[in-house]
């Protein structure tokens, strides 16, 4: 019989006892009858070791320790563990703790050695994902507005300090996507589009940015709109109409119907209503694209007589000492005339279609809110018939609109006012127009105001101020939009204005738009 895994000179050969000896050896070979078994041969079983391990965390940021746990097994005992972490470093601990310094994907290998010289290895490919600092996605477009259709070149401005950016996913808001870094995209239909960019770096960290209503493409059909001042008053009312129409094709002709049998072909005509009544106004414009019109029902309201209230800080017969008291006493179409002086109060139009004006202009007539609230509030659906004219507005302090807070779909007319030295905790140090508000500002000065965003004027949430011959200077934003801030579907109409010497600590010293544009 052959000896079972013993050297030929081993003293154990045929030296065992037959008592309780198996009839077959571990290889299954029978032992011949009468021969003694080899000493201990039938007990010996040289099983191979098996290497196995896991980590407490396989996805961590660079500089964070990873603990490796050995779960290998062996019958003969392991005397050496050899770890290779894939980054050029090794370790011989049973349960090592290792820190990866650089982002990347690492393969880990463990080799174990038994006391009898046997060994085994376990390799886990791409097992450890070390993430670097997340990238910061950003982009801009060479063109954001247009008519009909528009080709837009998008440029990636994302950064990733520790790991190279290797993937880009663009979503253009019209159902189309791209994985190019700097794609050229063709918008075929008019509309307002939100664009999103997601970037991923080599360490599989990603970041996304969405710019709401970033691309605005108008229909080639003109958008016909207008405003007027004043809209309410006593007969023989002189009204100035302002054309605010926009068109892809140049508008060549205007036709106004003032509702009293009179018409005009001027772009911005002045008309006198001689008789009391409610008048509907129609504006028709003509361009190469055709003829288009808009109609405003009962837009001008002329009264047989209206009341005039007077305010004087020192009082006097028949005069109010506080502006708010006169507003509270007034009705639609009335006029409040404020004489020179400083009025320490905060006023609210309370939805009234009145004209509030100074007798000698903004330089001599000051409303000072003493940091208690907005200086002026139009928050109850005021329309362009609510007129503020010829005041300095200062020392207002509010969450939004330190100088003038306009909200709730309000659209007052503000003329010849100086809005200065006001502050807002959030938006609109000088003026805030929010929630579908459309104020008209003519011949105003907005200066030296402070806010987080939109230190001069902020238009938010589908609000679009119309600015004519207005100066916006020396305002300071703690974040974005030193002069003008437009946010979320807000499109301020800026015409013949000066915007200069404004500052922002982040973006847009002069003008900043996010999901909106002037």
Q: What is the mean pLDDT of residues 168-177?
A: 97
Q: What is the pLDDT of residue 41?
A: 47
**How confident is the prediction for the chain on average, in pLDDT?**
91
- Comparing 318 with 400, the larger pLDDT belongs to 400
Same structural domain, 287 and 169:
no
Same structural domain, 111 and 245:
no
> Which tokens sit at 45?
């079983």
What is the residue range of 281's domain? 226-303
Domain count, the chain: 5
Same structural domain, 86 and 186:
no
Asked which of 72, 104, 131 is the last residue of a domain, the reply is 131
Q: Is residue 516 pLDDT above 60, yes or no?
A: yes
Q: Is residue 32 pLDDT above 60, yes or no?
A: no
Same structural domain, 430 and 351:
yes
Same structural domain, 94 and 1:
no
A 10 A CB-CB count for 454 gives 36
Lowest pLDDT segment from 25-34, 99-108, 154-163, 203-212: 25-34
Q: What is the pLDDT of residue 15?
A: 66
SS3 category, 328: helix
Q: What is the pLDDT of residue 63?
A: 84
Asked which of 107, 131, 155 is the last residue of a domain, the reply is 131
Has residue 47 been placed in a domain? Answer: no
Has residue 46 been placed in a domain? Answer: no
SS3 category, 79: strand
Q: Is residue 10 pLDDT above 70, yes or no?
A: no
Same structural domain, 366 and 423:
yes
CB 94 within 8 A of CB 70: yes
CB 256 within 8 A of CB 294: no
Q: Is residue 162 pLDDT above 90, yes or no?
A: no
Please give the model's pTM, rounded to 2 decimal places.
0.64
Q: Is residue 7 pLDDT above 80, yes or no?
A: no
- Comparing 206 with 38, the larger pLDDT belongs to 206
Q: Is residue 25 pLDDT above 60, yes or no?
A: no
Q: What is the mean pLDDT of residues 21-34?
A: 56
Has residue 48 been placed in a domain? Answer: no
Q: What is the pLDDT of residue 3?
A: 47
Has residue 391 been placed in a domain? Answer: yes
Q: Is residue 38 pLDDT above 70, yes or no?
A: no
In the Cβ-directed half-sphere of 471, how many Cα atoms lie within 13 Å?
Answer: 11
Same structural domain, 348 and 410:
yes
Has residue 436 been placed in a domain? Answer: yes
- Comparing 160 with 177, the larger pLDDT belongs to 177
A 10 A CB-CB count for 265 gives 10
Has residue 155 been placed in a domain? Answer: yes
The enclosing domain of 230 has a CATH number of 2.60.40.10
- Sorted by sequence, the CB contacts under 8 Å of residue 245 that are 6+ apart come out as 222, 223, 224, 225, 226, 251, 283, 285
The enclosing domain of 473 has a CATH number of 2.160.20.10
Tell me the pLDDT tens digit for each residue of 422-449.
999 999 999 999 999 999 999 999 999 9
CB 242 within 8 A of CB 440: yes
Q: What is the pLDDT of residue 517?
A: 65
Same structural domain, 361 and 468:
yes
Q: What is the mean pLDDT of residues 350-367?
A: 97
Same structural domain, 196 and 248:
no
- Comparing 79 with 405, the larger pLDDT belongs to 405
pLDDT grade for 299, boundaries at 50, 70 and 90: very high
> Which tokens sit at 394?
């200062």
Same structural domain, 1 and 61:
no
Lowest pLDDT segment from 114-128, 200-214, 290-304: 200-214
Percent of the chain with pLDDT over 70: 91
Q: What is the pLDDT of residue 232?
A: 93
Same structural domain, 342 and 390:
yes
Tell me the pLDDT tens digit for each residue of 182-197.
999 999 998 889 999 9
Asked which of 287, 303, 319 is the last residue of a domain, the reply is 303
Same structural domain, 279 and 326:
no
Has residue 394 been placed in a domain? Answer: yes
Has residue 338 been placed in a domain? Answer: yes
Residue from 491, 422, 418 nearest 459 by CA: 491
């Amino acid at each position: 019989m052959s000896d079972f895994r013993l050297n030929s000179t081993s003293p154990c050969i045929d030296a065992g006892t037959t008592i309780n000896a198996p009839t077959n050896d571990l290889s299954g070979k029978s032992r011949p009858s009468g021969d003694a078994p080899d000493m201990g041969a039938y007990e010996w079983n040289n099983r191979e070791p098996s290497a196995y391990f896991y980590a407490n965390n396989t996805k961590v940021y660079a500089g964070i320790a990873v603990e490796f746990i050995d779960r290998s097994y062996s019958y003969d005992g392991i005397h050496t563990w050899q770890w290779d972490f894939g980054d050029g470093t090794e370790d011989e601990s049973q349960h090592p703790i290792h820190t990866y310094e650089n982002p990347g994907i690492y393969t880990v290998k463990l080799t174990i050695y038994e006391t009898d010289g046997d060994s085994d290895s376990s390799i886990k490919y791409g097992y450890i994902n070390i993430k670097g600092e997340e990238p910061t996605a950003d982009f801009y477009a060479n063109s954001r507005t247009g008519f009909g259709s528009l080709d837009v070149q998008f440029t990636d401005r994302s950064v990733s300090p520790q790991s190279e950016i290797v993937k880009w996913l663009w979503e253009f808001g019209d159902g189309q996507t791209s994985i190019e870094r700097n794609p050229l995209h063709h918008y075929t239909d008019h509309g307002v589009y939100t664009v999103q960019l997601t970037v991923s770096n080599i360490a599989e960290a990603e970041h996304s940015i969405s710019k709401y209503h970033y691309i605005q493409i108008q229909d080639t059909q003109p958008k016909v709109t207008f405003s007027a001042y004043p809209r309410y008053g006593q007969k023989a009312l002189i009204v100035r109409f302002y054309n605010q129409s926009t068109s892809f094709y140049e508008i060549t002709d205007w036709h106004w119907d003032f509702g009293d049998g009179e018409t005009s072909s001027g772009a911005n005509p002045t008309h006198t209503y001689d008789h009391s009544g409610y008048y509907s106004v129609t504006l028709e414009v003509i361009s190469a694209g055709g003829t288009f019109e808009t109609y405003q029902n009962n837009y001008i309201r002329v009264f047989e007589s209206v009341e005039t209230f007077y305010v004087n800080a020192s009082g006097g017969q028949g005069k109010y000492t506080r502006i708010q008291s006169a507003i509270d006493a007034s009705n639609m179409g009335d006029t409040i005339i404020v004489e020179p002086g400083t009025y320490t109060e905060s006023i609210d139009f309370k939805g009234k279609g009145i004209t509030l004006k100074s007798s000698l202009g903004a330089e001599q007539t000051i409303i000072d809110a003493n940091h208690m609230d907005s200086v002026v509030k139009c928050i109850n659906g005021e329309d362009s018939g609510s007129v503020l004219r010829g005041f300095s507005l200062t020392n207002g302090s509010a969450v939004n609109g330190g100088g003038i807070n306009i909200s709730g779909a309000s659209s007052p007319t503000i003329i010849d006012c100086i809005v200065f030295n006001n502050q807002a905790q959030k938006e609109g140090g000088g003026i805030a127009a929010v929630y579908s508000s459309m104020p008209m500002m003519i011949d105003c000065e907005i200066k030296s105001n402070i806010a987080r965003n939109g230190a001069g004027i902020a238009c938010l949430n589908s609000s679009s101020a119309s600015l004519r011959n207005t100066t916006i200077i020396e305002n300071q934003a703690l974040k974005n939009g030193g002069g003008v801030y437009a946010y979320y579907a807000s499109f301020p109409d800026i015409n013949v204005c000066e915007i200069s010497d404004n500052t922002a600590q982040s973006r847009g010293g002069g003008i900043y738009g996010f999901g909106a544009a002037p």
